[in-house]
Structure 1
Amino acid sequence: MTDQIQRFLFDGTNVRGEIVQLERAYQEVLERHAYPLAVSRQLGELLAAVALLTETVKLDGTLSIEVRGDGPLELLMAESNPGGEMRAIARVAEGQPVPADGAGFRELLGAGRIVITLDPSEGKRYQGIVELSADTLGGCLEAYFSQSEQLPTRLWLAADGARAAGLLLQQLPDDAQSQDPDAWERSVHLAATLQHDELLELDAETLLFRLYHEEQARVFPPKPLHFGCNCSRERIAQALYSLGAEELRQILEEQQAIDTQCHFCNTRYHFGAAEIDALIEAPDAPPPTLH
Structure 2
Amino acid sequence: MTQDMQTSNNPAVSTDIDVRQRFFIQDSPVRGDVVRLSRSYANTITQKPYPEAIKRLLGEMLTAASLLIGTVKIDGRLSIQLQSSDSNSLLNWAMAECDQNGIIRALASWKSDNDEQSQAWNSMTTANEAFSELGATGAGVLFINIQPEQGEPYQGIVERSHDNLADCLAHYQKQSAQIPTLINLASDALQAGGILVQMLPRTVEETVEVEQNQDAGIDDDLWTRLKMLTSTVKAEELTTLTASEIIYRLYNQENVVAPEPTALEFGCTCSREKCETAILQIGQDEMLDICEEQGGQFEMDCGFCGEIYRFDKDNIAEIFAH
* CA distances 1:12-32 after superposition (whole Å, capped 9, x unpaired): 211110000010001101221
* Alpha-carbon shift at residue 197 of structure 1 (Å): 1.2
Identical counterparts, % of pairs: 39
- Out of 303, 307, 311, the residue aligned to residue 271 of structure 1 is 311
Contact preservation (8 Å) 1:105, 1:135? no
* CA distances 1:224-280 after superposition (whole Å, capped 9, x unpaired): 111111110011211232234453344234333331100100100111112223333
Distance 2:82 2:229 in 1: 29
Q: Where does the alignment leave 5 or more consecutive residues of structure 1 unmatched?
A: 283-291
Specify the code of the residue in structure 1 equivalent to 2:152: K
Specify the code of the residue in structure 2 equivalent to 1:196: A
Match of 1:42 in 2: 57
1:13-162 equivalent positions in 2, closer than 5 A: 13-69=28-84, 70=86, 71-95=89-113, 96-97=117-118, 98-99=120-121, 100-103=123-126, 104-110=129-135, 111-162=139-190
Change (3 A) 1:59 1:137: same
Distance 1:193 1:147 in 2: 24
Contact preservation (8 Å) 1:85, 1:228? yes
Match of 1:167 in 2: 195
Change (3 A) 1:140 1:253: same
* Alpha-carbon shift at residue 281 of structure 1 (Å): 4.3
Distance 2:169 2:285 in 1: 41
Distance 2:57 2:96 in 1: 11
* CA distances 1:96-152 after superposition (whole Å, capped 9, x unpaired): 334123242443332311121111111111111123331111112123223332222
- CA RMSD across the alignment: 1.9
Higher Rg: 2
* Alpha-carbon shift at residue 86 of structure 1 (Å): 0.8
Distance 1:195 1:113 in 2: 28
Specify the code of the residue in structure 2 equivalent to 1:248: M
Match of 1:187 in 2: 226
- Out of 242, 267, 290, the residue aligned to residue 281 of structure 2 is 242
Contact preservation (8 Å) 2:23, 2:259? yes
Specify the code of the residue in structure 1 equivalent to 2:178: Q
Q: Where does the alignment leave 5 or more consecutive residues of structure 2 unmatched?
A: 1-15, 208-217
**Whose RCO is larger (CA < 8 A, sep 6+)?**
2
Give SS of 1:235's match: helix
Distance 1:194 1:273 in 2: 57
Query: What TM-score results when the alignment is normalised by the length of structure 1?
Result: 0.90
Specify the code of the residue in structure 1 equivalent to 2:157: I
Contact preservation (8 Å) 2:57, 2:131? no
Match of 1:217 in 2: 256
Distance 1:272 1:177 in 2: 67
Specify the code of the residue in structure 1 equivalent to 2:90: P
Give SS of 2:202's match: coil
Specify the code of the residue in structure 2 equivalent to 1:214: Q
Give SS of 2:286's match: helix
Contact preservation (8 Å) 2:17, 2:243? no
* Alpha-carbon shift at residue 199 of structure 1 (Å): 1.6
Change (3 A) 1:81 1:38: same
Query: What TM-score results when the alignment is normalised by the length of structure 2?
Result: 0.82
Structure 1 ranges of 4+ moved more than 4 A: none
